[in-house]
Amino acid sequence: MALRVLQAVAAVAVLCRFPVTLTRAGDKSEGTPGQSYVAAVYEHRVILNPEPHVPLSRAAALKHMMSNLDVYEEQAARAAEQGAQIIVFPEDGLQGFNFSRLSIFAYLETIPDPQSEDWNPCTQTDRHTHTEVLQRLSCMARRHRLYLVANMADLQPCCQTSHPTCPPDGRWQFNTDVVFRRDGSLAARYHKHNLYFEKAFDAPPTLEVVTFDTPFAGRFGVFTCFDILFHDPTIRLLEQGVRQMVYPTAWMNQLPLLSAVQFQRAFSLGANTTLLAANIRADSLGMTGSGIFTPGTAIYHHARAGQPEEGRLLVLRIPVLDTAWLGTETRAKGQAGGEGEGEAGGEGEAGGEGEAGGETARGEGEAGGEGEAGGEGEAGGEGHAGGETARGEGEAGGEGHAGGEGEAGGETARGEGEAGGEGEGGGETARGEGEAGGETARGEGKAGGETAYTRSTKPLSGQREGNSGFCLQESQHCQEDSLSTSPPAFSASSPSPPAFSPSSPFPFTSSMMYDPFSFLLLSGSEGQLTVCDGPFCCHLHYRRSPQGGNTELYALGAFSGTHTVNGRYNVQVCALVRCLGSEVSSCGQEVEEAESRVDFLLEGEFGTRHVYPSLLGSGMVLEQPDQVKTTADGRVAMEHSGMTVGLVTACLYGRVYDQD
């Protein structure tokens, strides 16, 4: 569980009643068969143990977890009805949180390592005892023909003589993600590396870099909650070329820079990845915010304060980003008449799911072990050595379900979520999202620095004209690799913003996210500013349009250094923020609403290539930047104009991992 303060806080007010979809303009209305898939995430209102510090019997703990699993079952069925091929549930979703090491004991199950054995808990119930939760999840995946990702508590016995880091009670207790294939077999197990005030759990003695392979989209990486802010395992996955991530989380929103959907979106853009993010809904802790994010499109939900405290299912058709899989699938299609296409109604033939053992082995073996035969031959091992062909081929009729998917993109946000359900009525959540697999595939290996997100003309699901699109520098539609030093083109007739002058406000220091930011106030309706924190500098060109004569205060902030509260990590941040009040001391405090529209070009000179751009509007509305550009010398610029709502935060959040 990450970004949880030590005491409960009020829930954050949020965007709108229904989930919002950001779509990439200029896409085909329906993905090429085999180049897109349907993903689902579920934001779960966890049924809590009212006394988590009190130890329970195993029977009582099972009864508690089964009540949450009953909800999972309902949502897995709903997702499958809408054509989903993979579903992600949140961190801590089965038991909740705030346990002690002793009180969580009855919730633990020993999860076998899929690298070491092939096991289907649903069909091989007698192989391991006390695995009722694993069996329930396995059968859920099998029943609904889904790849299923869930989080649970794992117990692994250890001995101090052979493992010096073994706890005194002779067992490791891990916060664990498990992945099941659609036949119910266990595909992957990941122990969370970066714990966040989790007294019940141990950090794993060795780093785990875990992936799993699917027959419909290729390879996915796995990490959990607080991991997203750290190099290991997240950046290691990216360095291995993984561009599709499943992300169970229990994240408490921290404005103005680290609300859940804000940073999920920023990570997807900055790392050029797909992120399937499932969060907890817990108003007493300010937890909400889930989404399905690709570099070019997104659907997300952030609950409004005062709304019924309930779960939310999101479903979306998105492009495949695994270029190796896409290439293999193309080759496979040229092979004898549909050996996998016959999956027809039966994705489950033993072999298709049977990438078994090897999928996890490839990822966990960090660069090098990838592709070992491992146990791939499970269930006869059909298709392996050619496992890739088997993986890719057979989506056949399976991906095309919910016939409405791919129709006019703008209808996505409007239709979903009514009557409590995103995308009820079949393909509504998936409509328009099939952004032609290749668009994201074009750039996925880019190691961070050479991408540009550029404006195109299709509106954001009917919200506004001028949605941004995605392309890479090698595309003829991308911007030049050097950053413009001129202000953004707000309109052809507008005068250029005035240069910074000594009469502009003087810098001041104010705390934001517990860090001492250097700030400069924006003055007047337009201008340009530079603010520095030591040698790290941020630059801003802006033009703002106050609505209704408001006197909202805005400031440009810069910080470079080590964040030390509720986690220790090094950051470089440029942020344009709305201040809470009329005093400079209010700059950097939590703000949820704003009225002023601000057109801007925000630029920073970073000492890292890992920079995550976010653009947050009033009511937790995410907007897609018109452009995000980077250069080889570390400059990153984000440009945007024509906001649909007032600006809360525009941020370039750099992580300097080697300084942690």
* pLDDT (tens digit per residue) in 232-247: 999 999 999 999 999 9
Residue from 302, 251, 252, 248 nearest 276 by CA: 248
- What is the rounded distance in angstroms from the CA atom of residue 279 to the CA atom of residue 1? 10
What are the backbone angles phi and psi of residue 99, rounded to the nearest 5°? -85, 155
Query: SS3 sequence, 534-602?
Result: CCEEEEEEEEEECCCCCCCCEEEEEEEEEECCCCCEEEEEEEEEECCCCCHHHCCCCCCCCCCEEEEEE
- Range 451-477 average pLDDT: 29
Q: Is the pLDDT of residue 337 over 70?
A: no
Tokens 């054509």, located at residue: 83
pLDDT greater at residue 461 or residue 576: 576
Provide mean pLDDT across the span 304-320: 95
Whether residue 483 is predicted with pLDDT greater than 70 in this model: the reply is no
pLDDT at 558: 98
pLDDT over 70, % of the chain: 68
Q: For 199-239, give the DSSP string.
A: TT----SS----EEEETTTEEEEE--GGGGGSSTTHHHHHH
Residue corresponding to tokens 């997104």: 298
Which of 618 and 425 is assigned the larger pLDDT?
618
Q: What is the pTM of this model?
A: 0.77
Residue 46: CB atoms within 10 Å: 22
Catalytic residue among 30, 43, 91, 366: 91
| Tens-digit pLDDT profile for residues 533-562 | 999 999 999 999 876 677 899 999 999 999
- The pLDDT tens digits for 369-388 are 333 333 333 333 333 333 33
Helix, strand, coil percent content, the chain, rounded in steps of 5: 20, 30, 50
Query: Quick one: pLDDT band at residue 334, thresholds 50, 70, 90?
Result: low
Task: Give the Cα-Cα-Cα angle 182, 291, 462 (nearest 5 degrees).
Answer: 120
Statement: residue 91 has pLDDT above 80:
yes
Looking at residue 522, its amino acid is L
Asked whether residue 218 carries a pLDDT value surpassing 80, the answer given is yes
Kind of pairing between the strands at 515-521 and 526-533: unpaired
Predicted confidence at residue 550, as pLDDT, reads: 77
Of 43, 109, 166, 192, the catalytic one is: 192
Q: How far apart are CA 579 and CA 479, in angstroms?
A: 33
Weakest-pLDDT range from 265-269, 434-438, 641-645, 651-655: 434-438
Token pair, residue 303, equals: 């609950």
Strand partners, 622: 616
Task: Calculate the average pLDDT of the chain.
Answer: 78
Give the tokens for residue 637: 């610029």
192 is catalytic: yes
| Burial of 501: CB neighbours in 10 Å, binned 0-12, 13-18, 19+ | exposed
430 secondary structure, DSSP code: G
The mean pLDDT of 334-352, rounded to a whole number, is: 43
- Give the whole-number percent of the chain exceeding pLDDT 90: 65
Q: Which of 184-198, 391-405, 526-540 has the lowest mean pLDDT?
A: 391-405
Q: Please report which confidence band the pLDDT of residue 305 belongs to, taking 50, 70 and 90 as the band edges.
A: confident
Give the pairing of strands 86-88 and 186-191: unpaired
The model's pLDDT over 119-171, given as tens digits with 9 standing for 90+, comes to 999 999 999 999 999 999 999 999 999 999 999 999 999 998 888 999 999 99
d(CA 166, CA 483): 52
Examine the pLDDT at 275 and tell me if it is beyond 60.
yes
Q: Which two tokens stand for residue 357?
A: 């053992």
pLDDT tens digits along 441-454: 333 333 333 333 33
Q: What is the pLDDT of residues 12-49, one digit of tens each?
A: 233 333 467 664 333 332 334 459 999 999 999 999 99
Instruction: Average the pLDDT over 205-234 and give the result.
Output: 98
122 flagged as catalytic: no
Is 94 within 8 Å of 68 (Cβ atoms)?
Answer: yes
pLDDT greater at residue 268 or residue 369: 268
Separation of CA 654 from chain center: 17
The answer to whether 476 and 505 are in contact (CB under 8 A) is no
| Residue of 122, 225, 471, 651 marked catalytic | 225
pLDDT of residue 328: 84
Helix (H, G, I), strand (E, B) or coil at 345: coil
Residue 322 and residue 218 in contact, taking contact as beta carbons nearer than 8 Å: yes
User: Does pLDDT of 53 surpass 50?
Assistant: yes
629 tagged catalytic: no
- Per-residue pLDDT, averaged over 103-116, amounts to 98
How high is the pLDDT of residue 207? 98
